[in-house]
Amino acid sequence: MRQKLLLDLAAEADRKSVELKGAALPGQATCVMLPVVDMDPNECFCRRFETGTEVIAIRFPLGTVAEIPKLRVNNEHESCLKNKSFRESVDAIGMSHITAAQMSGADYDGDTCV
């Protein structure tokens, strides 16, 4: 009897984990981080948001609040507009290496931020 109850509990937990659907907060997006050599550390290039929008970029694992940069979107950045990857992607965020280093030592090998 105990084994049956445990198996039923495990099956129910497994079913619920499959059916669980996470919902993003308004304005939330997950983007792949890309380098922009001449970008200011307090700016980013991200087609998902309008120029001038202030965004908070969070990369996991998060160590401390000091690892969370507050950035202003600059979609008029010349070197980004010349780069096809930036012009056509809405799932990319371009930022300075200084900003990436602040974010738990992020690099550009597929790291993402929310």
- Per-residue pLDDT tens over the stretch 28-45: 889 999 999 999 999 999
Sign of CA dihedral 35, 50, 87, 32: positive
Phi/psi class of residue 104: alpha, beta or left (left: φ > 0; alpha: ψ in -120 to 50)?
left
pTM score, two decimals? 0.77
C-beta of residue 45 within 8 angstroms of C-beta of residue 75: yes
Look over the chain and give the mean of its residue pLDDT values, rounded to a whole number: 88
pLDDT greater at residue 112 or residue 85: 112
